[in-house]
Structure 1
Amino acid sequence: MRLEQCRRVFFSFPQVTDPAKHPDYNAWHQLDHQPENRALPGVLHGDRWVRTPADRAASGAQGEPSADARALEAADYVAMYWFADPVADSVGEWLELGRTTGELGRRPDLEWTTRRLTGFFRPLEGRVADGVEISASALPFRIHAGVIVEVVRVAEPSTAGADAALRAWHREHLAAVRRQPGVAGTWTFASRDVTITDVEPVRSKRAGEYLVALHFCESAPADVLAAVRAPALDGLTSVLRTPVSTITPFAWDWFA
């Protein structure tokens, strides 16, 4: 099954609340959690990136943030998993793995990790930049230096106003990002059932209330983001615009 046919992706934006635990968190995730998840037959692909202090500084948060923006601004990592059809079976098997590893005492992260955004999204489309020969389905598997993550909130999904704003977001803003040197391509996603945690968890089941764009970068994503103008579109609110970096195995000293 190719990624263009995928109907559900899971995103998590975790924060490690004890700074001393970042090496432990990465050891658990890279050496236990991620390989077990990737080994499931219903998981098409999985990846994770770190939001280093330098990435955070480059994210350029401005103004008084909303609750969802405060929540995501605290995130230290971004993780995603793509699920094969039948989605209910694949997700069910994945959730069962999470339960059984916990029952085996293999979830140390639960003590010092808060998931600032977590939930399921519908993949919308993937597009590669001019000069990139591979398919959009292969783009997430391609080696990259990191990604630019954009999260936007849609004020009134499924309305004429939202349609006009989203048309401009997809056709003008995202296309302009793909024209930047160092960008290999973009995948976009729309929320279906997500929870955002600032002080208290808030669940959103409004389809399309949140959109995520991942721009895969061949050069440092912080440098690319510096050249990208933030969109200003009625009805869309930027919740997070940040570079995140590819994680090198056993090189987990960003927060030391």
Structure 2
Amino acid sequence: MERAEMIPSTPETATRAFFSFPKVTDPARHRDYNAWHQLDHRPENLALPGVVHGDRWVRTPACERLGSYPDPALAGSQYLAMYWFAEPAADSIGEWKDLGDRAIHQGRRPELAWTERPMTRMFRPVRGYVAPRALVTLAALPFRPHRGVYAEVSRVETSPHPDVADLSRFEHETQVPDLLARDGVAGVWTFRSAPSRGNPDGPVTRIRLTYLEADPVEFARDLAADPLPAPPATLASTATPLLTGPLAAITPWEWDWFDEPAATGRGAGS
């Protein structure tokens, strides 16, 4: 079957993004996992013409202490990975999945024996914002160097509901401007999962990523001391929080966050 012509895409024009929340089940394999992902798996993904961009972050012990994890499955995840896909998204995602399958048969997926992924899902970008101080375009925001992200993952039980629309409006009109005005924030992207075909009005997972120039641990501390405006009481139960907290950007070969005594450190890279 002939592949459709690739349409030049950026994160601003992408209609699909993949999110994964991996957990390394063997504490002794964190360095192995990061070496595999950063030096083998991720470069092959980024080399695909249909992958616009990809990134990953780590929930260090210092980050974990400042987060909230109501969902038991996501509570154990230590990493967050994402990829943006070019149009036509179906072709780009198909080639990306084929790469993953080929890697298995090439013996290049050693991590399968000691990792779990409690959430791996395709999402649709909803809206993106750039803080005025960042200067770059929205298309460039994910490429701009940053020190980490503040991730907020939640679930709504039914998407086509007035309360969901009202909550989303409050978030975009009140909370996001508050975030963009804070020191150390470069921008914000929001995402939603696509409802299942069998239950189109069913639950939807939502993600808000705040890109940080600030140390993510320090940002989380400041946010805890000065929280975002809370939604009106009538909307308080519209979305169920699943995971909220900071994650640090990953520097190649600096993978000691879960080593002792590094795991007792105080900074984002601890």
Work out whether the TM-score is over 0.5.
yes
SS in structure 2 of the partner of residue 10 of structure 1: strand
| Number of matched pairs | 242
Task: Tell me the equivalent position of 1:217.
Answer: 212
2:102 alignment partner, one of 93, 96, 100? 100
Is 1:147 matched up with 2:149?
yes
Q: Provide the C-alpha distance between the structure 1 equivalents of 2:199 and 2:180, rounded to a whole number of angstroms.
A: 29
Task: Give distance in 1, aligned partners of 2:129 and 2:199.
Answer: 27
| Residue identity opposite 2:191 in structure 1 | F
Instruction: Provide the TM-score with structure 2 as the length reference.
Output: 0.85
Three-state SS of the structure 1 residue aligned to 2:208 is strand
Contact conserved, 1:151 with 1:213, CA < 8 A, in 2?
yes
Q: CA deviation at 1:237?
A: 1.8
Could you say which structure has the larger radius of gyration?
2
Q: Is the 8 A contact 2:21 2:120 kept in 1?
A: yes
| Alignment-mate amino acid for residue 212 of structure 1 | I
State the 4+ residue runs in structure 1 displaced beyond 3 angstroms: 203-208
Judging changes above 3 Å, is the alpha-carbon distance between structure 1 residues 140 and 102 closer, same or farther for their aligned structure 2 residues? same
Conserved? CA contact 1:52–1:245, under 8 Å = yes
Distance in 2 (CA, whole Å) between partners of 1:235 and 1:146 is 28
CA contact (8 A) 1:180 1:224 kept: no
Q: What is the aligned-residue identity percentage?
A: 45
Shift of 1:131: 2.2
Contact 1:192–1:207 at 8 Å: present in 2 too? no
Equivalent position of 2:135 in the other structure: 133
Equivalent residues in 2 for 1:58-73, closer than 5 Å: 58-61=66-69, 65=70, 69-73=71-75
User: 1:193 & 1:88 partners in 2: Cα distance?
Assistant: 17
AA partner of residue 32 (structure 2)? D
Asked if structure 2 preserves the Cα contact closer than 8 Å seen for 1:126 and 1:137, the reply is no
> Which whole-Å deviations, capped at 9, do the CAs of 1:117-154 have from their partners, x for residues lacking one?
11100011110113221111100000101000111111
The corresponding residue for 2:14 is 6
Cα distance between partner residues in 2 of 1:126 and 1:204 = 27
Match of 2:166 in 1: 164
Structure 2 match to 1:197:
none
The whole-number CA distance in structure 1 between the counterparts of 2:117 and 2:40 is 18
Write the letter of the residue equivalent to 2:99. L
Q: Do the aligned residues in 1 keep the contact of 2:130 with 2:188 (CA within 8 Å)?
A: yes
1:177 to 161, 172, 179: 179
In structure 2, relative to structure 1, the CA distance for the partners of 1:122 and 1:142 (3 Å cut) is same
The verdict on how the C-alpha distance between 1:57 and 1:206 changes in structure 2, with shifts beyond 3 A counting, is: farther
- Which residue pairs with 2:47 in the alignment? 39
Q: Is the 8 A contact 1:190 1:208 kept in 2?
A: no
Q: Equivalent residue of 1:6, what SS?
A: coil
1:91 Cα deviation from its structure 2 partner: 0.5
Aligned to 2:3: none
Contact 2:158-2:201 at 8 Å conserved across structures:
no
* Secondary structure, aligned partner of 1:79: strand
* Alpha-carbon shift at residue 208 of structure 1 (Å): 6.7
Distance 2:213 2:220 in 1: 12
| 1:243 pairs with 2:246 | yes
Cα distance in 1 for residues equivalent to 2:201 and 2:135: 36
One-letter amino acid of the counterpart of residue 12, structure 2: E
8 Å CA contact 2:50–2:87 kept in 1: the answer is yes
Give the strand-richer structure, 1 or 2: 1
What RMSD in Å do the two structures reach over aligned CA positions? 1.8
Equivalent position of 2:77 in the other structure: 75
State the shift of 1:16 in Å: 0.3
Determine if contact 1:152/1:211 at 8 Å carries over to the other structure: yes
**Distance (Å, rounded) in 2 between the aligned partners of 1:205 and 1:74:** 29
Matched-pair contact (CA < 8 Å) for 2:160–2:201? no
1:223 Cα deviation after fit: 1.5
| 8 A Cα contact 2:195 2:203, kept in partner | no
How far apart in 1 are the matches of 2:130 and 2:108?
Answer: 38
Segment of structure 1 superposing worse, 241-250 or 130-139: 130-139
Contact 2:11/2:139 (8 A) holds in 1 = yes
| Alignment gaps of 5+ in structure 2 | 1-8, 260-270
How many Å apart are 1:90 and its aligned residue? 0.5
The match for 2:257 is 254
Distance 2:88 2:201 in 1: 23
Name stretches of at least 5 consecutive residues in structure 1 with no aligned partner.
195-202
Whole-angstrom distance in 2 between the partners of 1:215 and 1:204: 30
Q: Which one-letter code corresponds to 1:78 in the other structure?
A: L
